[in-house]
């Protein structure tokens, strides 16, 4: 359970306990939510948008304990890969991995793609915003013994105070800065004291 979920559950419990008092206020600390994984090589970091599958969720849970550094090697002219040092759940399927894909192989190996390859993989995510040429440079294509650090990036929700006036309104959404949203579209919101994704 991540920090935001815990905080929102506490806020919701406090709101329920205080609904009898129409003027009650519930104060919550600003909290952070891991949104992306960061890959750092030789002091240069790039973000990875993670998938929502069980493997990516398990990786996030592991990285919440702290960054993980792995040693990867170039292979096949399309990836750097190596052992994570721990296993993640797999949902392998035959895919053609593309440049920028972050792949789980055999449950305990991570592959960072700078080219394409078809195999039975579990996709973990995708490195954001780099061209194939930039990926080859960042991932040190063709080299061996590349130290790669995996860590979590966080964003502030901006929510620091919730005021409860009587019962909460059922269909009211707030953005992560605490502003009411009249017509929510795709994204993450707060509704009835809980995080929801539309």
Q: What is the pLDDT of residues 13-49, one digit of tens each?
A: 555 444 444 433 434 444 444 468 999 999 999 999 9
Q: Are residues 105 and 82 in the same domain?
A: yes
Q: What is the pLDDT of residue 38?
A: 94
Q: What is the pLDDT of residue 172?
A: 78
Provide, for the chain, the percentages of residues in helix, strand and coil under a 3-state DSSP scheme, each rounded to the nearest 5: 15, 45, 40
Q: What is the pLDDT of residue 176?
A: 66
Q: Which of 25, 30, 36, 37 is nearest to 7 (CA)?
A: 30
Q: Are residues 47 and 91 in the same domain?
A: yes
The residues of the chain scoring below 70 in pLDDT are 1-35, 154-170, 176-178, 193
Q: Are residues 48 and 12 in the same domain?
A: no
Q: Are residues 26 and 9 in the same domain?
A: yes
For the chain, report the end-to-end CA distance as a whole number of angstroms.
20
In DSSP terms, 173 is beta-bridged to 181, 191
> Is residue 72 in a domain?
yes
> Is residue 62 in a domain?
yes
Q: What is the pLDDT of residue 5?
A: 56
Q: Are residues 39 and 16 in the same domain?
A: no
Q: Are residues 55 and 149 in the same domain?
A: yes
Q: What is the pLDDT of residue 2?
A: 54
> Is residue 7 in a domain?
yes
Q: What is the pLDDT of residue 139?
A: 97
Number of compact structural domains in the chain: 2
Structure token pair of residue 93? 């399927």
Q: How far apart are CA 62 and CA 60, in angstroms?
A: 5
Question: What is the CATH classification number for the domain harbouring 136?
Answer: 2.40.100.20
Q: With residue 30 as reference, give the H or E element that holds it.
A: none
Q: Are residues 123 and 43 in the same domain?
A: yes
pTM for the predicted model, two decimal places: 0.62
* Contact between 74 and 140 (Cβ < 8 Å): yes
Q: What is the pLDDT of residue 196?
A: 75
Q: What is the pLDDT of residue 164?
A: 45
Domain that holds residue 107: 34-155
DSSP 15: H
Q: Are residues 23 and 53 in the same domain?
A: no
Q: Are residues 114 and 189 in the same domain?
A: no
Phi, psi of 13 (to 5 degrees): -60, -40
Q: Are residues 128 and 169 in the same domain?
A: no
> Is residue 160 in a domain?
no
**Beta carbons within 8 Å of 29's beta carbon, 6+ residues apart:** 7, 160
> Is residue 172 in a domain?
yes
Q: Are residues 13 and 46 in the same domain?
A: no
> Is residue 89 in a domain?
yes
Q: Are residues 40 and 84 in the same domain?
A: yes
């Amino acid at each position: 359970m991540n920090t935001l979920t815990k905080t929102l559950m506490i806020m919701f419990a406090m709101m329920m306990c205080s609904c009898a008092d129409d003027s009650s206020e519930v104060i919550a600390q600003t909290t952070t939510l891991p949104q992306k994984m960061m890959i750092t090589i030789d002091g240069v970091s790039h973000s990875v948008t993670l998938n929502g599958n069980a493997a990516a969720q398990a990786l996030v849970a592991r990285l919440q304990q702290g960054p993980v550094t792995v040693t990867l090697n170039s292979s096949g002219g399309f990836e750097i890969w190596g052992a994570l040092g721990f296993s993640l759940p797999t949902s392998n399927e035959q895919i053609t991995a593309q440049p920028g894909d972050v792949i789980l192989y055999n449950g305990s190996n991570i592959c960072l793609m700078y080219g394409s390859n078809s195999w039975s993989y579990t996709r973990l995510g995708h490195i954001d915003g780099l061209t194939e040429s930039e990926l080859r440079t960042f991932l040190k294509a063709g080299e061996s013994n590349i130290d790669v650090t995996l860590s979590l990036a966080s964003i502030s929700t901006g929510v620091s105070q919730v005021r409860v006036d009587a019962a909460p309104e059922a269909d009211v959404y707030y953005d992560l800065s605490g502003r009411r949203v009249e017509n929510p579209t795709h994204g993450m919101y707060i509704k009835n004291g809980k995080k929801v994704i539309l």
